[in-house]
Amino acid sequence: MDEDELFRAYRRTGDQALRNEIVERNLHIASILAKKFVGRGVEYDDLFQVASLALIKGVERFEPDKGLKFSTFITPTITGEIKNYFRDRSRLVHLPRKVSELRALARKEAEEELTRTGKKPSAAQLAARLGVTEEELLRAEEAGSVVSLDRTVDDDSENMSFYDVLASGGDAYENLENRDAVISALKELSGQERAVVNFRFGQELSQAETAKRMGVSQMYISRMERKILEKLRENLKKSMAE
């Protein structure tokens, strides 16, 4: 069956197997588009997941009789969803810390300016306001590889945390304090949550691989990861305040 026939058959019957086949045949589009947006601070796996969900939604909305190819129809849909995801999602901790802080400050400043004047500031204006060079600001924006606080800490907390190896400003005491904060924040997690942290950030497995090892769906891992990050953020706040 060609693509148009598949769509028509799916519209006629509502058969989920047909829908799945359409999605599988077009999953490469989700993959191609997800790759185009790598390097903006979100992992490929997450982008691919967002793109795949947009693909499934798009299959429901596509009308084959309108004469448009599905790939032409779905590309703007997926692109829109990815851009929305970038807008909505904020990350826990970025590396190195100075870069992370600069990125966050730049976003905040840009949003405030937009609220004040209805216009987003240029990189030059932002850099001037933040007291950094344009190059520093652009480099911070270019920094794509982002790692969470818990990256190298596993269940028994024997490993070094990232603060031990990637110091910002060389403040060893601060590093030690932060490491302790991470360790105590991790202690508050359940065994299953710590396993997810270990697989995802210790062993750097993808969400899909983590799901496979734990015998659950990727979606479950994704939701759990978000919950864990929220929990860690809260725990960190608490332990920093103590």
Residue closer to another protein by CB (options 144, 226) is 144
Identify which of 107, 111, 105, 112 has the alpha carbon closest to the alpha carbon of residue 131: 105
Q: How far apart are alpha carbons 175 and 198 in whole angstroms?
A: 21
Q: How far is the CB of 137 from another protein (least distance, A)?
A: 8
* Using rule CB under 8 A, residue 59 touches another protein: no
* Using rule CB under 8 A, residue 150 touches another protein: no
- At 237, list the tokens: 């706040």
Span 81-100, contacts to another protein by CB under 8 A:
86
SS3 content of the chain, % helix, strand, coil (to 5): 70, 0, 30
Span 114-143, contacts to another protein by CB under 8 A:
119-126, 134, 138, 141-142
Q: How far is the CB of 1 from another protein (least distance, A)?
A: 19
* 62 to 21, 55, 171: CA distances (angstroms): 15, 10, 56
* Using rule CB under 8 A, residue 32 touches another protein: yes
Q: How far is the CB of 65 from another protein (least distance, A)?
A: 19
* Using rule CB under 8 A, residue 50 touches another protein: no
* Three-state DSSP class for residue 153: coil
Q: How far is the CB of 124 from another protein (least distance, A)?
A: 6
Place of tokens 């058959």: 9
- At 231, list the tokens: 């929990």
> Among 21, 79, 96, 174, which residue interacts with another protein (rule: CB under 8 A)?
79
Residue closer to another protein by CB (options 137, 196) is 137
Q: How far apart are alpha carbons 167 and 163 in whole angstroms?
A: 5
- At 223, list the tokens: 């939701």
Residue closer to another protein by CB (options 50, 232) is 50
Q: How far is the CB of 87 from another protein (least distance, A)?
A: 8
Q: How far is CA 16 from the centre of its chain?
A: 29
Q: Where are the alpha helices (DSSP H) in the chain?
A: 3-13, 16-36, 44-61, 70-88, 97-117, 123-130, 134-142, 162-165, 172-187, 191-197, 207-214, 218-241
Q: How far is the CB of 44 from another protein (least distance, A)?
A: 15
- Enumerate binding residues for another protein (CB under 8 A): 29, 32-33, 36-37, 40, 69, 71-72, 75-76, 79-80, 86, 106, 110, 119-126, 134, 138, 141-142
